[in-house]
């Protein structure tokens, strides 16, 4: 027998690998479906790539790769037998147990036992070799099988190690010198001091300067001004403003190039007026009213989850739940809503076979494959089957319903999907709760990035907003447009219809505090939708407004209207804010969101008769005193050249002046990038000539116009970096133009726009005014949450689907808890004329959908009559 087994495996021995450190072994989930060892057909693990495949997908992998040897894993789950006294018999486990299996189970492990079976299967003949066969199999095969069976979950590291666990104390924490410049930081209203970004803002702990952070690969973040400020001032530590809590905050060291701990953070924050001790007192004060808060939140959980109703479970296509992995309900609710939209269904589920057939060798890392996999699982009904209809089962269901819940509705476990879409993102890759609105925008970014040259389902959310800014002194106006994906609706507390009830509640609450008696029943402010809409349309002040008519800072107001209406309008009710004590707060409000919404009166009208436009000139460039005489760009200061990179290149035999130019023109981005520049320019006649740095002209009394700004080329140094990477010059120039000369974003733009137009066409577009650098890309309107909006849409010709502004509500996501960073999300979706509640893996018919308690609302456009 041993000889026979050895002979079977001999031709395939070169393809059998032993998992090494860093190899991911997928033995609990198929790459193309949610099949697992518990599924009827079990799971096949490739002994070369260690990818897992269900029975209907393993043949595809065999045909594509030629890999023949797979380990077949099968787990059988059985209810424990009961003894004479009615107690469960002691569990007997099969000796062949798959370690570290993370399966889609919600049942009580004490009531069930399982048996595991493993065997090697050789394709295409389907020869089977039972395991273990330690004495009969070659040693290499035995070692490989044992390593696969004992491999840790590929998700374990991500889910058990939080960001904070690895942080080290910064070497600058105890020696940091803070400037006595009188800076005080308010609890809200922050803005980057170099651009209009209002998200991902960092406070420099040396001088109190507030700047935007780095731009992330998913489109979130900022323009990197915090890092630029460090390079200008050498001030090493910064704290993210929206992360400050009594327990600490996110601190980054630019010098050490990593997130760090700062034991003196409270003192450093107090220097700028942020009193962490006061925050702690405020939290303690809130905890002092914990009974009242708990009653309020308990009521919230009951209403949103419809706990007081006997909800009927539903099964089949479109009624599959998504299992909560632990604080992942924000992901589940967003994906349920998206895959209820026909465009997303058509893109990913309608093209399922094509996507699978053309998937890369590692489908776990392919966005389209994983979207198709999740969409098919939710819509096929394959993972949402009703229990067997028999009298015996019905009787057991009535008597032991809780014990059988796992059998009725398991849902799908999105571990592989979450690992992919959250990869390299500082928040979504953690195991902490996140904001469903932020995740929605993050996912739209990923859809945008992976839809180049094909149908883009996120087009249904995209719309144009017209912003009218008026100088209060000159009365002149400017009209601009920007792309957005969500309507952010204020919730004005002053418009509550139950003011008298709220006032009476506050009086009773204070009396209860003074008399140490039980607090009154909590009261929630009721705000009409019309009041929210009115607040949305009202003018708002523009901080630090620079009037081109006065050529000076002035008071300005801004109003927003819709240039176009999307097919699907997403409405976020702004329930979350910061209090004056820096405590994140959730407004306890209910808004009577309508089933039908008409926004037609908010359509933009453009420049009106009698209105005079503000002159089309840009603000003057202000050079800080400590940097006067220097360049405005990191590229233009030759004294900042990284000499270590220069020496490393010179040691390779290149002329030293050429090495200096290479490091200079690649912006000190390292020797590897400079080496690429050398290879691209070594044939040029002035390759070894000394570096010539052009001085930047002093700011004069005249100001450049927007048209002259468009006529100007991007910095030649930035163009040189991109062309040195092999990109055409015209494409590099276009990329820099549309990303406001941001190198990182320009590089990403090139990858996502392979079919960009020729330089001549771009120039003609600019001449025709199709490019709006001043507003579309520079974040000119910080109020639009541009840092969170998908940012690589084509602003030269944004794809918008305009139509009537009349909508009908079809879904909403609700939040329970005090903050978007905690609590729980559920969603309600209207399907087949009835409301359905999706609460993690549980899917039931809704008895009383709490439409006025929602957070994100999704409307679809009504067809014209």
What is the arrangement of strands in the sheet containing 251-253, beginning at the earlier edge strand? 168-169, 258-261, 251-253, 237-240, 201-204, 210-212
Burial of 646 (0-12, 13-18, 19+ CB in 10 A): buried
DSSP 708-766: HHHHSPPPHHHHHHHHHTT--HHHHHHHHHHTTT-HHHHHHHHHH-TTPPPHHHHHHHH
Cα(375)–Cα(352) distance, integer angstroms: 9
Percent helix, strand, coil in the chain (nearest 5)? 35, 20, 45
* DSSP symbol at 847: S
* The pair of three-digit structure tokens given for residue 493, joined into one six-digit string: 């507390």
* DSSP symbol at 600: G
Burial of 136 (0-12, 13-18, 19+ CB in 10 A): middle
Could you give phi then psi for residue 499, rounded to 5 degrees?
Answer: -60, -45
Beta bridge partners of 655: none
CB 65 within 8 A of CB 361: yes
* The pair of three-digit structure tokens given for residue 165, joined into one six-digit string: 């666990």
46 in active site: no
DSSP H or E run through 507: helix 499-515
Cα(766)–Cα(773) distance, integer angstroms: 10
863: Cβ–Cβ under 8 A, 6 or more apart, which residues?
Answer: none
* DSSP symbol at 345: I
In the set 195, 329, 471, 827, the catalytic residue is: 329
Buried residues in 311-332 as b, exposed as e (16+ CB within 10 A): bebbbeebbbbbbbbebbbbbb
Cα(542)–Cα(553) distance, integer angstroms: 11
CB 523 within 8 A of CB 494: no
824 in active site: yes
Contacts by 674-679 with C-beta closer than 8 Å and gap 24+? Answer: 674/645, 674/649, 675/649, 676/724, 676/725, 677/720, 677/721, 677/724, 678/649, 678/654, 679/724
In the set 61, 824, 828, 841, the catalytic residue is: 824
Buried residues in 765-777 as b, exposed as e (16+ CB within 10 A): bbeeeebbbbbbb
Cα(781)–Cα(468) distance, integer angstroms: 11
* DSSP symbol at 485: S
Cα(434)–Cα(332) distance, integer angstroms: 12
* The pair of three-digit structure tokens given for residue 227, joined into one six-digit string: 């890092």
Which residues does the annotation mark as catalytic? Answer: 329, 824
């Amino acid at each position: 027998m041993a000889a026979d087994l050895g002979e079977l495996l001999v031709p395939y021995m070169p393809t059998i690998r032993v998992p090494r450190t860093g190899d991911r072994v997928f033995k609990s989930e198929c790459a193309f479906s949610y099949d697992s060892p518990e599924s009827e057909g079990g799971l096949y693990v490739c002994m070369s790539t260690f990818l897992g495949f269900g029975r209907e997908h393993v043949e595809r992998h065999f045909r594509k790769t030629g890999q023949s040897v797979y380990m077949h894993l099968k787990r059988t789950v059985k209810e424990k037998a009961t003894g004479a006294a009615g107690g469960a018999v002691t569990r007997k486990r099969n000796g062949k147990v798959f370690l570290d299996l993370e399966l889609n189970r919600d049942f009580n492990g004490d009531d069930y036992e399982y048996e595991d079976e493993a065997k090697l299967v050789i394709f295409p003949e389907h020869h089977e070799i039972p395991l273990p066969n330690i004495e009969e199999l070659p040693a290499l095969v035995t070692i490989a099988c044992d390593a696969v069976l004992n491999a840790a979950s590929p998700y374990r590291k991500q889910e058990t190690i939080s960001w904070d666990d690895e942080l080290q104390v910064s070497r600058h924490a105890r020696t940091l010198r803070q400037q006595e410049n009188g800076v005080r930081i308010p609890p809200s209203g922050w803005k980057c001091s170099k651009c209009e970004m209002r998200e991902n803002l960092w406070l420099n702990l040396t001088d109190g300067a507030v700047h935007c952070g780095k731009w992330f690969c998913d489109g979130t973040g900022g323009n990197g001004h915090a890092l630029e400020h460090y390079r200008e001032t050498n001030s090493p530590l910064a704290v993210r403003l929206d992360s400050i809590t009594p327990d600490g905050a996110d601190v980054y060291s630019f010098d050490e190039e990593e997130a760090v701990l700062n034991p003196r953070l409270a003192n450093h924050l107090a220097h700028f007026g942020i009193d962490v001790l006061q925050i702690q007192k405020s939290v303690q004060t809130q905890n002092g009213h914990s009974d009242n808060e708990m009653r309020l939140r308990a009521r919230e959980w009951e209403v949103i989850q419809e706990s007081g109703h006997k909800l009927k479970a539903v099964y089949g296509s479109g009624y599959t739940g998504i299992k909560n992995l632990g604080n992942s309900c924000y992901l589940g609710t967003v994906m349920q809503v998206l895959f209820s939209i026909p465009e997303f269904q058509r893109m990913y589920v309608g093209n399922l076979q094509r996507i699978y057939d053309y998937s890369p060798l590692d489908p776990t890392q392919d966005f389209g494959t994983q979207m198709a996999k999740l969409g098919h699982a939710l819509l096929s009904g394959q993972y949402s089957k009703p229990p067997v209809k028999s009298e015996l089962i019905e009787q057991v269901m009535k008597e032991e319903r809780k014990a059988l819940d796992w059998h009725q509705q398991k849902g799908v476990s999105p571990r592989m999907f979450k690992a992919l879409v959250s990869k390299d993102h500082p928040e979504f890759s953690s195991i902490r709760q996140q904001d469903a609105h932020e995740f929605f925008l993050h996912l739209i970014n990923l859809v945008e990035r992976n839809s180049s040259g094909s149908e883009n389902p996120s087009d249904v959310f995209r719309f144009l907003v017209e912003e009218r800014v008026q100088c209060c002194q000159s009365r002149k106006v400017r009209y601009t447009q920007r792309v957005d994906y969500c309507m952010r609706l204020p919730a004005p507390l002053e418009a509550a219809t139950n003011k008298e009830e709220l006032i009476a509640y506050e009086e009773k609450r204070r009396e209860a505090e003074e008399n140490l008696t039980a607090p009154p029943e909590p009261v929630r402010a009721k705000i009409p939708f019309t009041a929210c809409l009115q607040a949305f349309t009202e003018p708002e002040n523009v901080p630090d407004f620079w009037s081109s008519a006065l050529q000076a800072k002035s008071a300005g107001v801004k109003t927003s209207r819709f240039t176009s209406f999307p097919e699907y309008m997403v409405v976020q009710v702004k329930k979350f804010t910061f209090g004056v004590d820096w405590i994140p707060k959730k407004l306890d409000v209910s808004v009577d969101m309508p089933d039908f919404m008409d926004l037609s009166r908010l359509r933009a009208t453009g420049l009106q008769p009698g209105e005079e436009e503000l002159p089309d000139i840009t603000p003057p460039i202000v050079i800080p005193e400590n940097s006067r005489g220097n360049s405005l760009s990191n590229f233009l200061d030759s004294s900042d050249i990284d000499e270590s990179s220069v020496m490393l290149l010179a040691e390779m035999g290149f002329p030293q002046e050429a090495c200096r130019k290479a490091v200079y023109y690649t912006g000190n981005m390292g020797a590897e990038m400079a080496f690429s520049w050398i290879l691209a320019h070594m044939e040029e006649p002035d390759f070894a000539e000394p570096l010539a740095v052009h001085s930047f002209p002093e700011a004069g009394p005249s100001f450049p116009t927007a048209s002259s700004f468009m006529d100007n080329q991007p910095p030649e140094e930035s163009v040189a970096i991109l062309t040195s990477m092999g990109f055409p010059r015209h494409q590099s120039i276009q990329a820099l133009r549309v990303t406001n000369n941001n190198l990182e974003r320009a590089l990403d733009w090139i990858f996502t726009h392979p079919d960009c137009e020729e330089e001549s066409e771009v120039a003609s577009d600019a001449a025709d005014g199709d490019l709006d650098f001043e507003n579309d890309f520079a974040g000119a309107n910080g109020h639009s949450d541009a840092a969170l909006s998908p940012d690589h849409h084509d602003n030269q010709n944004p794809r918008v689907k305009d139509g009537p502004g009349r909508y009908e509500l079809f879904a909403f996501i609700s939040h329970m808890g005090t903050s978007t960073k905690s609590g729980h999300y559920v969603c309600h979706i209207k399907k087949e004329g009835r409301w359905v509640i999706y609460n993690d893996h549980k899917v039931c018919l809704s008895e009383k959908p709490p439409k006025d308690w929602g957070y994100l609302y999704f409307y679809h456009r009504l067809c014209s009559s």
